[in-house]
Every structure is written in structure tokens, then in C-alpha cells.
Structure 1
Amino acid sequence: MTISDRIAALLLRHLRKLSALVLLIVLGLGAGIPALTFSADNTSFFGKQNQETRDLEDLGEFYTGSSGFLIMVKPPEGEMFSLNTLEALKEMTADVWQAPFALRVDSPANFNHSRSEGEDIIVEPLLDEYAEVTPEVAERFQEVVSTSPEMRNRLVAADLQAYGISLNTVLSDDFEARRDELLAFLDQMEADWAERYPGFEIRMTGDVLGGLTLALAAKQDILTLVPMAFVLVIALLLFFLRVPLAVGGAALVVLLSTIGTFGFTGFLGIELTAGTAISPMAVMVLTAASCIHLILSWFRELDRSDRATALHHAISENLAPVLVTTVTTAIGFLALNFAEAPPLQDMGNIVAFGLMIGMIANFTLLPLALRASRARGGDRLPLREGMMRVLADLAVRYRRGWITGFLALILVAGLGIGRIGYDDSLVRYFDDRFEFRQDSDEIQQHLTGLDNLQFSFTAPEGGSVFDPDFLRDIDRFTTWIETQDNVVGVSSLTQVIKRLNMSMNGDAPAFDRIADSREANAQLMMFYELSLPVGLDLNSTIDVDRQRTRVVVLMRAEHSEDVRGLAKVAEAWMARNTPDTQARAAGISYAFSTVSERNNSQMLVGLVLVLVLVSLIMMATLRNARMGVISLAPNVLPAIFAFGLWGISFGDVNLGSTVVTTMTFGIVVDDTVHFLMHYLDGRKRGRSTVDALQETFRVVGSAIIVTSICLAIGFLVMATSGFAINQHLGALTAIVIGFALLADLLFLPALLLSFDRTKAK
């Protein structure tokens, strides 16, 4: 009697007690579900130690304004500068100032414009809050906003068809309560505006709304995709297995593994994000695949043995393969800890734990259901042995063709992989079903770019931001970067100083430059700041110590490469042209634009580790080094083919795509393990290569096909998410599984026929 036989006998002897224990454990884990929380932090995808994250923290430390909103106000056509529109803009600006926790509000209405009047300099808002808008005021307003580089593509559209109102808030303490109070106010304000200003189009975006949409996407995926995947998987099991009680047992196993996974997440205090919310769905689909192997094995044996013997045989036959595949799959997910994005690390740990719960339930609760079933064998199954014999004949007869075809696919895939680029953007992560994406697209199209690069310049030691040479370097950089592709606006301290210097000298264009001394520049800024109302200081541009100043570059980027490319070009330009005045590119857009590349390089370490560990496990399990090496091909090639097809069809990948190769390597090993273990068992019994292959197709062929279909459809459900990371992860995984099925059924037999020492008859 083998070890598997002994364990199977032990399990069957204590099946009820063990099943009750598993139920208690899962129910205990389920107590953690009420502790689940959803993260609305749009920086949660960045590793805490990478340079981009540290630069973001520095920006928050040195400059005011953290949680921002941008409201687009688009008046009716032809009414942009009418008196009624300007009165409305003034009232809207005042309304936004009433928002809870408002720190700063910028609008064309309160834009402080400097001009000379005789020997005096006047610094005042374009629209006086307490004065009526007259035709003369409207004319001056139109003249300024039409020519101001500080407002263009930021607070007023380049085509003069829309205004922008920017709101900065402070939500650091008791963030969630403050955020909810603020959003309730803004929702009510927007509803009031719809009544008071008919014909005006109002759109809103911002980092708080982006973070909230992340949490919303996570909740939607849990409430819709997880149940949808469960129903589809059970429907597929009913179709392929045709035994309600067996399928009910599998459904219970899947349900309990999902509950255990959610509870485990809650107990660990892991916040669910849009990137981790689908973890229980992955557990569900993978656990269902393990159940299929056990049920089909039991089915086959019912045709030859009594029920007790069939159940014992099914457990004994699948114990080692299911254990190995569960461990290798868990290793693939645990390797996500090499990812730099914390949600991907969390997903790997969550799924690995859930798989273990599913495996334990698979060998306790499912056998209990099978023992109660009165099924009569596999003759009612849609995938019958005759079909498997035909498939085996095709694999054997055309083995050279399959090898040639797969080698050709490698070349084609290489071309597709060469076309792949990385595209990550908080806005583009969401599809059009989300209001945040709809509003952001409209604002980007009609008002300004929503991507930005930020450069924080530090004055030379012993100097200040008002040193003329330092400011001239920044002004040269500002002038240069304004001309670059995709740049729609630049906000810089030098713009304010040059305008003030010109106003100080009678608005003469010759003085549109930096003043010649530190003292003169400092006096200009002091005069300007003393003229500003409360809440409109320059701390968003200059730090309190006057040692740093920030240049913000607004971009209308269609791809992350636009952001990354400009950052590299800008840093190279500074190194050549302003070597004494340099700064690194930073900001949320830049952090997102680099996250996939950085994560992909980190995942290479994880992939190597997974390849080594899984290969060693395969060699130890199969007790055959040659077979362990052969098994690598059908497990590595599917990911290559999938990314090649993706590169040809779509081109771009995102953060979710970077973990697919590592994650799926453990998944696709499942069918390879079952195939090779049965094949080698046949070879040990003296069968020839061809006979062993035909027997393997008969025994496990249907299970491999059914599990692959269930896995692929389960992950395709994930691809219907409104969140792009889950879309890519689900779709690519489904494609990998599809190619893995072809590799196991066609390419692997061809390899065995070519490299096994026993030749075919």
C-alpha cells in the first residue's frame, strides 16, 4: 500500500470529524469579514521605499495643498464672457470657498492680476467679490484671461470655452470622515448649480475622487464579479459533470474557500483595493479546478469498482498531484511579494492562503458529498473516452507538425513582445462606466491636461529662491519646457516675478524679466504677497524657508510614455543647460508612469525563483530529471505566446500584466503535473510511449480540458472589471491558460515522443 493509499484510508475513516473541523476553521476565519475595509488611497500602488514615493512625500512636506479638486465650468455657447456668466463664475468661486476644510481656491474670478496705474502697482482679483460686473470689468477680464500664460490651460481653456476652479483641501486628520463631509458638500453644491445656472456644464475631477473611485471599483468587483464567477463556474461544473450532489459538494468547497479568504484578509487588516478585491475570485476558480480532478477520477472508477473503492481510488490518485499543483500555484502567487506594488503583494498572500483552505476542504467536504451521491459512472459526461482517443491520435500522428508549429509561434510571439509598452494612469485605469473617468475625459478634452510633472528646485547653499541666476535658470527651463509636445501649461514662480517687475516699470515689455538682484526679487514677492487675500499665498509654489520652489508642468498625455519621455528629456536638458540648477521629475503622474517598468524588473527576480522552485518540485515529484526539464516547455511557452498575442493585438500592458508570467506559471503546472504523473505511471508499468500517452489522455484528458475551460472562463469574468489592472490580469491569464491547454495536449506529447528513450511503436 502506497503512502497515498494510507492517507486516503485515514481521511475516509475520519471524514465526518475532519469535515466538521474544516467547517469550524472556516467559520472562525469568517469572523474576520466584518473587519474588511476598502482603501481610497491612490498612492497605494507605489512601494514605500522607491524614489518616486519619497519624492511625492517631499512635495507634500515642502509645499501646501495636498487633496485637490478641479471643477470645469462650461457656459452655454457664446456666453463665455457675458455679464451673467461672470456673475455666475464669481458666485461659484465663493461657493467653493465654503467647502469644508478648504485651504485654497483658484479661479479666474479671484486671480490676482498686477498692473501699473500711474506710479502705483495695483494687485487685485479680476472680479471683485463685492462689486457688480460691469461691461468695462468684463472687457478687462476677457483681455487678461485671453493673454495670461498663468491661467491658460489651467483656469481657462485655450479655446476660451470653459473655466476651471481649483480647490485644495486639508484632509490629513480623520481623513475618511473629512472626505465624506467634503464630498457631501460638493455633491449638494453641484446639484444647486444645476438649478441656479441652467445650460452650464459642470465636471469635477481630482485625486480624492480618483482614490474614492478605486474603492468603488473594488466594491463593484466584489459585489458583481465574484458572484458572477461563482455562478458561471458552478454552471460549467453542472454541464461537464452532470451530478448535482457532486457539483453541490464542489460549490460548498469553493464557497468555504472564498469565505476563508475574505476572513483571512480581514483578520490581517489588509485594506481591499481595486487590485486585491479579485483575490477571492482567483481562489474560487483555482479551487474549483482541483475539485474537477477529484470528481472525474471518482467518475471513471465508478465504471470499474464499487462506490467505496472508487472514492478511495479518487483520493489516492489525486492526493499527490493536487498537493503539488496547489503548492506550485501558491508559490507562484507568493512570488508576488517581489512586486513593488503593495496591493499585488497582498493579492499573492491572500490567494496563497485561500488555496490551502480550498485544498483541505477539497479532500474532506467534497468526498463527503461524493460518498452520498448515487451516480453511476462517467457514461453521461459530455467529454467521453472516445473523444480522448481521437485527441491522443492527433497528438501522436502529427507530432512533428506540432513541434514545428510551436517553434513558429515562438518567433511570432517574439515580434509581438517587442511591440509591448507600459501604460499606467489613474484616470485610464477606469473605463467609461465610472463618472470619474467620464468627467476627467471631458476636462482633459475641453480645459486642461490632467497629467503633470513637478520639479522642486533647491537654491544654492547660502542663497535663496530669489537669487537672480537661480531664477534665470528656472525661467530658461520654464520657457523651454512650455514648447515641448503634450505640454499645455506651466506654473512657475518666475512667471509671477516677471509680471511684477514689468508692472513695477510701467508695464513696459522690456522689463518682462527677472530683476537683477536678490533684494529686488524678494521685495517684488513681498509686495505681491501682502496684496493677496487670505488663502491665496504662494506656499504652493515656494517653501516656508524660501529655499525651494516648484515648477508644475501640465500635460495632455495619451500614454504613460509621454510622461516618462518628457521627464527624461527634461532632466537631460537641465544637465546640459542649467548644471547648477537641476531637479528630478516627480508627481503622481510620473509615479504611475514608472510603476510598471519598476515592478516588472522586480518581478524578474520572483520569476526566476518560481522557475527554480517549481522545477525542483517537479523533478522531485516525477523522480525524473529529464521529465522535469521537459515539463518546463509547456509551462513557460504559454506566457510567451500570450504576451506576443497581446503585443500584436493591443500593444500596451499595465501594472497587472507585469505579474501574469510569475503568477500563471504555478497555475499552468496543474495540468502538466497530472499529465506527466499518469504518463510516467504508465511507463513504469511497461507501456510504450504511445500506449502510455493514449492511456494518459483517457485518464486525465477530460479533466485537463474541463479545468482549463473553467479557469479560463473564471479569469475572463475578471477581465470584465471596470478597472484596467484587473482587466489585463484576467484577460492575459485566460489567454495563458488557453495556450497552456494546447501545449499540454499537443506540444507536451510531441516532446515526450521525441525525447523519451523508449521509441513509439
Structure 2
Amino acid sequence: EASQGDMQTLIPLSFLLMLVTLALLTRSVSGTVATLFVILFSILTAMGLGGYLGFPITPPSASAPTIILTVAIANAVHILVTFLHEMRLGREKRAALVESLRINMQPVFLASVTTALGFLSMNFSEVPPFQHLGNLVAMGVVASFIFAVGFLPAAMSLLPVRVKQIGNDDSHLMHRFGDFVVRRRTPLMWGMAGVIVILVAAIPRNELNDVFVHYFDDSVPFRQDADFMTENLSGLYIIDYSLDAGEAGGISDPQFLREVAAFADWYRAQPETIHVSSFSDIMLRLNKNMHGDDPDWYKLPEERNMAAQYLLLYEMSLPYGLDLNNQINIDKSATRFTATLKTLSTNELLALEERARMWLQQNAPHIANAEGTGTSIMFAHIGKRNILSMLLGTAVALLLISLILIFALRSVKIGLVSMIPNLVPAAMGFGLWGLLVGEIGLSLSIVAGMTLGIVVDDTVHFLSKYLRARRENGLSSPDAVRYAFRRVGMALTTTSIVLVVGFLVLSLSSFQLNAGMGLLTAIVIVFALAADFLFLPPLLMKLEEKKPAVKPATTTA
């Protein structure tokens, strides 16, 4: 229901907001229409391939179209904005398209590869729906690159395009902003470094904590029913134990029964407990029944043979077709113990499980191999396991992306420096989350790996223009920064705004895993733009301030 609701409301809303935002920023109706088809083709390709591969539609994977929409638009925007910029400078349409492809082919390809790698890192997740989400978005990103460099230029060459020529871009907003960054590079670098340190220091304030029932907001019938059930009937959170007596027929041992009864009393005394069901309760009632319902005999049998006979009599008296196999095993060596709990967070559930384990170790020597099980325990543990697996996935993605950038940019130093603005945004985002919220759920554990590929997009485009200015035009480092802002600053701003709008739409989802993921991703993208505009350029100028301008290339690729 949550998946269907998201697909019926969020995807149309995303399309509407994206197109309005794109039209306002590019001021081109034909460009907006062509970009719309690039997005549609990318989504249909990814979801179609997902269907052939047998991916189920789950709440996480249902957000794939919205994420593909926001990520795929970036490739089209870079080509489109450069094309319109060239036409405003006076180039003829075909020449402007060729120049846009020449300038953007490598960075768009690199951004697509790194973005796909970031989402593919979600395959390290312990949760299959997140694996499906990562694979669907990765396929959509690859498809968007193909359509952006194949379909978009062809469509723009056929559609009418009207632009207002400006002759030169010396008064361009990004040109002035580039001048500001160059003039204020030292205070900007140290100021951003201070903000980064403060936010990164707040990361430990985050605590892994989830409430399974709260994955859905109050508008979802399941959440309403679950809350009503917990308040008026029973609870959804259950811990099961298999209490092993260590021998066949051992559940009739009076000492074992006393320890089971004591464990049940301990659980009932815990504030998290609603109800406890144990085999010792049956034996208490049987002993009382066999003595004429005398309340004084509401106690456990003191002899093993007597307890075994009571159990046999009880089994034989059950109606036809009923047995105790849901509570005891065949050879009567173990019994089931069930604790029904209130709605608990991950940490509360794990803390209760740990207290129970310690109590059994200290007070129940005749009970062996007692570990809490059940879906509640599974969800409580999977969050922590997911954190560890996604750390590995993020590390692998970071290594691959670093190698790709070093090779593509033909500079080990620049490739390594590029990792700073790629890693810093996620760290800043989690730091701000720690200050404002302080809890990280299951879905937020995948944000670092997922956003790594997205934020690389800004860095790749800025560095490619910076290096082009250094190598082809022979500009100094400050002039190369101005050139990069002038050529790609508006495109990066446009794509970032579009991405933020798209992921903020996802934060409206009734499925809280998607909502939290969308909100934190939007925060990370904002920090990524700030890092690439206010921290990376001063850092480049600082590292290359003594490096002379390169002699311009005699030929242009």
C-alpha cells in the first residue's frame, strides 16, 4: 500500500516540480520538453530491465523512479545549459551542440559511471530491497547517459530554440561569483574548514535506532491498526526462546521448570513486557487441576515422574487434531518461551535481549542454548549489520571512484584532492543530522554510499573545466577557477537545485525509510555544492599557487 501510494503521488509530483524548476532555470521550453523525454526513457528502461530481472516492487524499490528522475536530469542539464550558453554567446545551433558535447562528454560519462558505482555499492547492504533499489537506479543512470548524449542533441537540433544573445559573459553572475571566491579564497578555505570540523565532530551524536512500526506514518492503515493493537490488545514485538533442558524428556525436570518459571517472572517484571507465555504456566495449572483446583497446589510438581505423567495426560486429553508441538519439541527436550512486548526501538529491544541473556547465564544453569529469536530481533540486529556492510561498500566505491578520477583527470594529486569534496558532504550531513535528530535508522545507513556517486558529479564537472583551462588555455590557477565557474557554475547550481527538490519530494513519502533517506540526501547535496564552490577552488589555488600557467595547447580536441 505504501509503495502504491508513493508511485501514485510522489512520481507525478516529482515530474511537475522538476519540469517547473528546469523551465525556470533554463528558460527554454524545447530544452525542458527534450529533458522530459530523456527522463521518461531512462525510467522506463530501468524499470523494464528490473522487470526482466525479476525485481519485486517494495517500498524502497518503489522510490527508484523518483531517484532516477532526479539523478538522470543532471546529465541532460549539463549538456543543455552549456548548449544554451554557447548560443547566447552567438554560436549557431549546430556548432553550439557540438561544443557542448565536446566539453561535457568526458565529465558526463565520468559522473554517470561514478554515480552508478555509488548506487551499486548498495549491493553490500544486508537488505535485498535496498539492493534492488541500487541496481534499478544504476541502470537508470547508465540509460540517462545514453539518452542524454544520443537523444537530447538530436532532439534539440530539430526543435526550435530561442535565446537572447549576450555577446560576452563578463557580467555573468557566475563570473562575478568566481571573482569573489578568488579574492576571498583564504578566509573561505579556513571558514569552510572550521564548519566541516564542527559538523564532523557531531557525527558521534548519532545513534543507530529504529522503530519498525514507525516505518509507516499515521496515514497508513497498518500503522493505525498496529497502534490500536498495542494499546488495547497485544503487541507486535515478540521475542521467542527455545529453552533447552539438555536431554530427552528434560522439560519435566522440576529444577528446569523452576528456572523457566523464574525466567517468566523476571520477564513479567520488565517494563517493556505485555505478556509472557511459557510451559511452566501449563504445569502450574495442571498441578492445581489435578488437586481439585485447590489454590494451594498452584505450584510446580516436585517430582519429575509426576510432571511427566501430568504432561502425558494433558496431551492425551487435547481435542482431536491438536497437540503441543507449537510449545515443545518431539523428544520433550526443549520448550518454547514467548514474550510479547510494547512498541520498542532497536536499542531498547537489544538492551532487553541482552538483560535476558545475562539473567539466564547467572540464574538458570539448567537451561542451555537460549538465544532470543523472531522478526523483531532480526530487524533490531539487521540495522547494525547493515551499517558494517555499507561501510565496506562505501569503501569499495570510494576506491573505484578514486582510481577512475585519477586515470580520467590524468593527475594523481588532483584525483586525490577531489576525494575531499566528495567525502566531506556526507560527513557534514551526518554531523548536522546528529545535531538535529541524533538517530540513524536502517535506510540512512546507505546514504553515504548512495550520495558518494551523486556528489562526485559536481566535483568531476568543476575539475574537468578547471583542468581544461589550465591545459588547453594556459590559464593560471585563479583564472582557471574563474573559467570553471563561468562555464559550469550555473549548470552545477541548476542540477543541485533540481536534485534537492527531487529528494525533498521523496521526504514526503509515507514510508519513513524513504522519507528519511530523501531528506538526508538533500542535505548532503546542498553541502556538496557548498564544498565544490567554497572549499575546492581555494584548496586548488592553495595547492597550485606556485605552479606556473601551462602553455596553451596548439590543437583543440
* TM-score normalised by structure 1 residue count: 0.69
C-alpha distance in 2 between matches for 1:755 and 1:217: 50
Cα distance change, pair 743–535 in 1 and its aligned pair in 2 (3 A): farther
Q: What per-residue deviation string (whole Å, max 9, x for no partner) do you get for residues 442-495 of structure 1?
A: 222233332121111223134432222222222222122222231222111111
* Corresponding position: 1:645 with 2:436: no
| 1:737 counterpart (513, 525, 528) | 525
1:143-542 map, 5 Å: 216-302=1-87, 303-377=89-163, 386-533=172-319, 537-542=323-328
Cα distance change, pair 508–405 in 1 and its aligned pair in 2 (3 A): farther
| 1:598 counterpart (385, 393, 399) | 385
Secondary structure in 1 matching 2:339: strand
* Corresponding position: 1:568 with 2:358: no
Aligned to 1:587: 374
Q: Which has the higher strand share?
A: 1
Secondary structure in 2 matching 1:610: helix
How far 1:705 moved relative to its partner? Answer: 0.3
User: Contact conserved, 1:688 with 1:758, CA < 8 A, in 2?
Assistant: no
Q: What per-residue deviation string (whole Å, max 9, x for no partner) do you get for residues 34-56 of structure 1?
A: xxxxxxxxxxxxxxxxxxxxxxx
Cα distance change, pair 531–386 in 1 and its aligned pair in 2 (3 A): same
User: Contact conserved, 1:413 with 1:640, CA < 8 A, in 2?
Assistant: yes
Aligned to 2:552: none
| 2:501 counterpart (713, 727, 733) | 713
Number of positions where the alignment pairs a residue of Structure 1 with one of Structure 2:
544
Aligned to 1:670: 457
How far 1:253 moved relative to its partner? Answer: 0.7
C-alpha distance in 1 between matches for 2:234 and 2:244: 28
How far 1:247 moved relative to its partner? Answer: 1.2
C-alpha distance in 2 between matches for 1:760 and 1:378: 37
1:607-622 map, 5 Å: 607-622=394-409
C-alpha distance in 2 between matches for 1:480 and 1:731: 42
1:52-71 map, 5 Å: none
C-alpha distance in 1 between matches for 2:58 and 2:348: 27
Cα distance change, pair 630–378 in 1 and its aligned pair in 2 (3 A): farther
Identical amino acids, percent of aligned pairs: 37
C-alpha distance in 1 between matches for 2:27 and 2:2: 36
Cα distance change, pair 219–502 in 1 and its aligned pair in 2 (3 A): same
User: Contact conserved, 1:753 with 1:759, CA < 8 A, in 2?
Assistant: no
1:1-150 map, 5 Å: none
C-alpha distance in 1 between matches for 2:83 and 2:357: 65
Cα distance change, pair 385–615 in 1 and its aligned pair in 2 (3 A): farther
* Corresponding position: 1:703 with 2:488: no
How far 1:419 moved relative to its partner? Answer: 2.2
Secondary structure in 2 matching 1:490: strand
Secondary structure in 2 matching 1:546: coil
* Corresponding position: 1:629 with 2:432: no
User: Contact conserved, 2:425 with 2:531, CA < 8 A, in 1?
Assistant: yes
Aligned to 2:555: none
* TM-score normalised by structure 2 residue count: 0.93
* Corresponding position: 1:551 with 2:337: yes
Aligned to 1:756: 544
How far 1:351 moved relative to its partner? Answer: 1.2
User: Contact conserved, 1:384 with 1:702, CA < 8 A, in 2?
Assistant: no
Cα distance change, pair 429–378 in 1 and its aligned pair in 2 (3 A): farther
**Letter aligned with residue 419 of structure 2:** L
C-alpha distance in 1 between matches for 2:170 and 2:287: 87
Q: CA RMSD in A?
A: 2.1
**Letter aligned with residue 506 of structure 2:** M
Cα distance change, pair 502–752 in 1 and its aligned pair in 2 (3 A): same
How far 1:506 moved relative to its partner? Answer: 4.4
C-alpha distance in 2 between matches for 1:519 and 1:721: 60
User: Contact conserved, 1:690 with 1:760, CA < 8 A, in 2?
Assistant: no
Secondary structure in 1 matching 2:217: coil
C-alpha distance in 1 between matches for 2:285 and 2:235: 24
How far 1:759 moved relative to its partner? Answer: 6.8
**Letter aligned with residue 491 of structure 2:** A
Structure 2: state its 5+ residue gaps. 550-557
User: Contact conserved, 1:453 with 1:590, CA < 8 A, in 2?
Assistant: yes
**Letter aligned with residue 711 of structure 1:** L
Q: Which has the higher helix share?
A: 2
**Letter aligned with residue 365 of structure 1:** F
C-alpha distance in 2 between matches for 1:637 and 1:611: 13
